[in-house]
A and B are shown apart, each in its own frame.
Chain A
Amino acid sequence: MLFYIFAAIAILSGAYMVLTRNLLYAGFSLLLTLLSVAAIYVLLFADFVAVTQLMVYVGGVLVLILFGIMLSSRVHDKSVMSENTNVGWGITISLLTLIGLSYTIWRAGFSSLPWIQQAGTDVLSGQKSTVQLIGIKLMTDFVLPFEVASLLLLIALMGAAYIATAKQKV
């Protein structure tokens, strides 16, 4: 029941985000979408993923988006509006994506997958959260991708610092 409520909120706010012309409203409805998706993660026993979603997307990405919109508008004292371009191509590509995704989901046949049938409601099996398991996995099986990701972030950080200083000299 809770799942359907949050799913409905996610879909409605997502649709509003796409359909509204006001970029700022789109940003704020993205907040609602992210929150309800986080709630769905919690219902799926993925508490760590849910909180990480809040931390990274709401605390970081969304604030960045809002900052961007607010700093770049208000030039003529009106909110930024998005415009419709490439209507034909947009509809075609999104329809094709929809068909592709629906076909894949239909073909996958989730209810017959063995690990779905084995998984009971007691996913955590006595564990209080998924953090311990995630930590062990990150330090053993997935240590290389983890370290590569940190290297990538460091490079991005240095790049950002370089671009910012280069602009100041001019």
Chain B
Amino acid sequence: MLAFALTLLLLLGIVIVLAYAERKVAAFMQDRMGPTEAGPYGSLQSVLDVVKLLQKEDIVPAAADKKLFKLAPILIFAAVFAGFAVIPFTPDLIPAGIGIGVFYLLAIISLDVVGLLMAGWGSNNKYAMLGAMRSVAQIVSYEIPAGLAILSVVMVCQSLDFQEISYQQGILLNRFPGLEFETNWLFGIEALGINTTNIGGITTWNIFRAPILLVAFVIYFIASLAESNRAPFDIPEAESELVAGFHVEYSGFRFAILFLAEYSMMVLVSLVAVILFLGSWNTPLPNLTALKFANWTTGTVGELSGILWGGFWLLSKTFVLLFLQLQIRWTYPRLRVDQLMHLCWKVLTPIALGIVLLAGIWRLLMV
């Protein structure tokens, strides 16, 4: 229960910051000021938006399927929030450290799809229905390149446990039960003869341990944009043609839940990208001879310093990725449906299949 409450609080905090950042980043990229009135530099704007949404009347359309309409936001948010259960926040802080966390995450996200269909159908509105259909088609298609990119990480790490994958990517490698005698080599190749187990930092991140995963990371990032319905893959929302997509009929508290679920999805996919590819809660600074940057910025596991450093690195890396998502939104125009499917099936999926094969070969080099 404590993990539940803490994760929810953390998530709410991140989402409020993110909603503010979205408006400010958008404004600066378009040479505007963005919100300025509420609080210093408009920083209370998103808090006030939430308060406003909570005060609004809860409208259920007369022609809607009321049961489905009311249930859908809960299901969507529950599915996304359940994904956070397996995310390791620090070396010794993980809500549920199950051994097949990666697989569980992929499966639980697909629950989200059912909720979207429920919302689209329950609204009894053609825009909502079209938006839900597009959204589901997009999420189901882009799960494949994302899943293959994740699979290549799993093949290199030989584990489905997020915490084990995290430990493998830093100087704490030998602290994980079962990995006491493992060593990290530069680029994962022992023949190069450079032992990076105690150097740590960026040299032991997955994108460095097996550089082929850098390509997998790009594929995963593109696919994750589509899975969270972000621009340039936001045809499910497409304000100019579908009004607002599947949540067009929602207002007040229910809209707040859907909004929260959407931003939580962004946070979740970024967290997963950071954990699988960018070293999780490990520091990016390597130990260089006498300058033990990695040791200094890791803290002691089990103590407050370890928790604070781990959380700091994980969240700061996540925020970098989230900023990239915001920036991409205001850089690229929306893709057409056929371009979207072309990108997924004819570009990303074949490359991802090749990456899986290469990752398997790389793993053989690493042994």
Residues of B within 8 A of A58 (CB): 107, 110-111, 114
In the bound complex, CA of A79 to CA of B117 (Å) = 14
- By beta carbon, the residue of chain B nearest A35 is B111
CB A68 to nearest CB in B, in angstroms, measures 11
CB B319 to nearest CB in A, in angstroms, measures 29
Digitize A43-60: 1 where CB-to-B-CB distance is under 8 Å, 0 elsewhere: 000011001101100111
Q: Which of A47, A55, A62, A66 has the most CB of B within 10 A?
A: A55
Residues of B within 8 A of A51 (CB): 100, 103-104, 107
CB A41 to nearest CB in B, in angstroms, measures 12
Residues of A within 8 A of B108 (CB): 54
Residues of B within 8 A of A62 (CB): 114
User: B residues bordering A, Cβ < 8 Å?
Assistant: 65, 68, 98-100, 103-104, 106-108, 110-111, 113-114, 117-118, 121, 129, 133, 136, 140, 143, 160-161
In the bound complex, CA of A59 to CA of B214 (Å) = 28
Residues of A within 8 A of B103 (CB): 48, 51-52, 55, 131
Contact A129 B68 (CB under 8 A): no
Contact A24 B121 (CB under 8 A): yes
User: A residues bordering B, Cβ < 8 Å?
Assistant: 24, 28, 31, 47-48, 51-52, 54-55, 58-60, 62-63, 66-67, 70, 74, 79, 127-129, 131
Q: Which of B99, B114, B161 contacts A63 (CB 8 A)?
A: B114
Contact A66 B110 (CB under 8 A): no
Residues of B within 8 A of A60 (CB): 110
Q: Can you list the 10 inter-chain pairs with the closest CB atoms, starting with the nearest?
A: A59-B110, A129-B99, A128-B99, A54-B107, A55-B107, A51-B107, A129-B100, A51-B103, A66-B117, A51-B104
A-B contacts, 15 of them at CB < 8 A, read: A28-B118, A31-B114, A48-B100, A48-B103, A51-B107, A58-B114, A59-B113, A59-B140, A67-B136, A70-B117, A74-B129, A79-B65, A127-B99, A128-B161, A129-B98
In the bound complex, CA of A6 to CA of B134 (Å) = 33
- By beta carbon, the residue of chain B nearest A74 is B129
- By beta carbon, the residue of chain B nearest A73 is B121
CB A6 to nearest CB in B, in angstroms, measures 16
Contact B99 A70 (CB under 8 A): no
Residues of B within 8 A of A59 (CB): 107, 110-111, 113, 140, 143
Contact B100 A47 (CB under 8 A): yes
In the bound complex, CA of A153 to CA of B40 (Å) = 59
Q: Which of A48, A63, A79, A131 contacts B113 (CB 8 A)?
A: A63
- By beta carbon, the residue of chain A nearest B111 is A58
- By beta carbon, the residue of chain A nearest B118 is A28
In the bound complex, CA of A31 to CA of B115 (Å) = 10
CB A21 to nearest CB in B, in angstroms, measures 14
CB A154 to nearest CB in B, in angstroms, measures 14
Residues of A within 8 A of B114 (CB): 28, 31, 58, 62-63, 66
Known: A128-B99, A129-B160. A54 touches B111 (CB 8 A): yes
Residues of B within 8 A of A47 (CB): 98-100
- By beta carbon, the residue of chain A nearest B104 is A51
- By beta carbon, the residue of chain B nearest A47 is B100
Residues of B within 8 A of A131 (CB): 99-100, 103, 160
- By beta carbon, the residue of chain A nearest B103 is A51
In the bound complex, CA of A67 to CA of B114 (Å) = 10
Q: Given known contacts A24-B68, A58-B111, what 10 new A-B pairs fall within 8 Å (CB)?
A: A28-B114, A51-B100, A51-B104, A55-B107, A63-B113, A67-B136, A70-B121, A128-B161, A129-B99, A129-B160
- By beta carbon, the residue of chain B nearest A129 is B99
Residues of B within 8 A of A129 (CB): 98-100, 160
Contact B110 A54 (CB under 8 A): yes
- By beta carbon, the residue of chain B nearest A63 is B113
In the bound complex, CA of A58 to CA of B100 (Å) = 18
In the bound complex, CA of A51 to CA of B98 (Å) = 12
CB B73 to nearest CB in A, in angstroms, measures 15
Q: Which of A54, A63, A79 contacts B136 (CB 8 A)?
A: A63
Contact A63 B140 (CB under 8 A): yes
In the bound complex, CA of A47 to CA of B307 (Å) = 29
CB A1 to nearest CB in B, in angstroms, measures 18
Contact B117 A55 (CB under 8 A): no
In the bound complex, CA of A60 to CA of B106 (Å) = 12
CB B124 to nearest CB in A, in angstroms, measures 9
Residues of A within 8 A of B100 (CB): 47-48, 51, 129, 131
In the bound complex, CA of A52 to CA of B113 (Å) = 16
Residues of B within 8 A of A31 (CB): 114
Residues of A within 8 A of B118 (CB): 28
In the bound complex, CA of A55 to CA of B106 (Å) = 7
Q: Which of A24, A28, A31, A62 has the most CB of B within 10 A?
A: A28
